[in-house]
Amino acid sequence: MKPYLLILFMSMTLYAFGQKTISLYEGQIPNSKPSADKEKTSIHDGITVVDQISKPTLSIYLPSEKSATGAAVIIYPGGGYWVNAIAHEGVDVAKKLNNMGIAAFVLKYRIPSDETMENREIGPLQDAQQAILTVRQRAQEWKIDPKRIGIMGFSAGGHLASTAGTHYTSPVIDNPTKTSLRPDFMILVYPVISFQDSICHKGSREQLIGKTPSQEKINWYSNELQVTPDTPPTFLVHASDDDVVKPENSIVFYEHLIRHKVPAELHVYQNGGHGFGLVNKTTDDVWLDRCKAWLSANGWLKQVSAK
């Protein structure tokens, strides 16, 4: 390939999934082993996925200054902890959030791997926490209110998001400034929540913590059991006929949120299956419109200057 074409290709790659894409970590990636970069992007049944991710990035989507509300959402795409469904559960969502005046950040998080990680089970959570840390520390630069930073996760990305939202007092990254790792709210879409045998998505559980995890570890990553009164307010979406990630995942999380008096809203559609992203084709209802109403009702979309 000619040099100028290579430069053009690299430039296109950098901006392909965002207004700007940055490396998540400056310098050494924590919990990583020296290994070849095998990351690749492919399309399966119309869905764009990235697999074998060992170098996490954050793609930045900022709304126009005129429409900006000061709110931000960090998006964790799904993919069973095997891939990142980077388009319909990432980039497409970020653009819609921008239309609502919300700054959006798509995290391309590492895939658990003994080849690339010292400890595979904490790799994704490290990236999830680092993303929150980065956005909060650079809030002024991106004109964001550091007290209105939420997270959104789809499927296994919902497990990652709910882990970040319930384990923020147990940091797995360096945080010398003691910046808060607690998201201000969570949006969970057909999320994996529980690792209990009765309702878990076994593929996600096995990929993250192995085929024979201890009950103690199962409980630790069953995020309904980690809810406290300080868990962030949460908006949940699922479909009754989801035969990949059982709707009981959202229901049990909602029940524990209510038990601890955490503000929560749950929408369970009659149909829709799994992985519908922004558009549930079985209904005229648009869940993101309901989510916007919830965000507005809680004051996160009020246009105020970032501090």
Residue 16 pLDDT exceeds 80: no
Write down the pLDDT at residue 304: 57
Q: Please report whether residue 16 resides in a domain.
A: no
Main-chain phi, psi angles of 235, to 5 degrees: -115, 125
What are 129-167's pLDDT values in tens digits? 999 999 999 999 999 999 999 999 999 999 999 999 999
Pairing of strands 103-108, 57-61: antiparallel
The bridge status of strand 40-44 relative to strand 47-51 is: antiparallel
Residue 302 lies in a domain: no
The pLDDT assigned to 18 comes to 59
Q: Using one digit for the tens of pLDDT, what is the confidence trace for 30-41?
A: 999 999 999 999
Q: What is the mean pLDDT of residues 160-185?
A: 97
Confidence at residue 307, expressed as pLDDT on a 0 to 100 scale: 45
Over residues 53-78, mean pLDDT: 97
CATH number for the domain that contains residue 163: 3.40.50.1820
- pLDDT digits over 246-300, tens only? 999 999 999 999 999 999 999 999 999 999 999 999 999 999 999 999 999 999 9
State yes or no: pLDDT of 241 exceeds 90: yes
Q: What is the pLDDT of residue 303?
A: 75
Range of the domain at 57: 22-297
Task: Answer yes or no: is 231 within a domain.
Answer: yes
pLDDT digits (tens, 9 = 90+) for 79-109: 999 999 999 999 999 999 999 999 999 999 9
Q: What is the pLDDT of residue 306?
A: 44
- 104 touches 187 (CB < 8 A): no
Average pLDDT of the residues of the chain: 93
Q: Is residue 8 part of a domain?
A: no
Q: What is the pLDDT of residues 195-231, one digit of tens each?
A: 999 999 999 999 999 999 999 999 999 999 999 999 9
* CB neighbour class for 294 (10 Å; exposed up to 12, middle 13-18, buried from 19): buried
11 located within any domain: no
Total structural domains within the chain: 1
The pLDDT, as a whole number, for residue 209 is 98
At residue 8, the pLDDT reads 39
What does the DSSP assignment read for the chain?
--HHHHHHHHHHHHHHTSSEEEESSSSSPTTB-------EEEEETTEEEEES--S-EEEEE---TTT--S-EEEEE--STTTEE-TIIIIIHHHHHHHHTT-EEEEEEPPPP-TTTBSSTTTHHHHHHHHHHHHHHHTTTTTT--TTSEEEEEETHHHHHHHHHHH-TTS--S--TT------SEEEEES-----STTT--HHHHHHHH-SS--HHHHHHT-GGGG--TTSPPEEEEEETT-SSS-THHHHHHHHHHHHTT--EEEEEESS--S--TT--TT-S--HHHHHHHHHHHTTTT------
The predicted structure's pLDDT at residue 5 = 42
Mean pLDDT calculated for residue range 111-125:
97
Please tell me the predicted confidence (pLDDT) of residue 4. 38
pLDDT at residue number 302:
85
Q: Looking at the chain, how many residues does it have?
A: 307
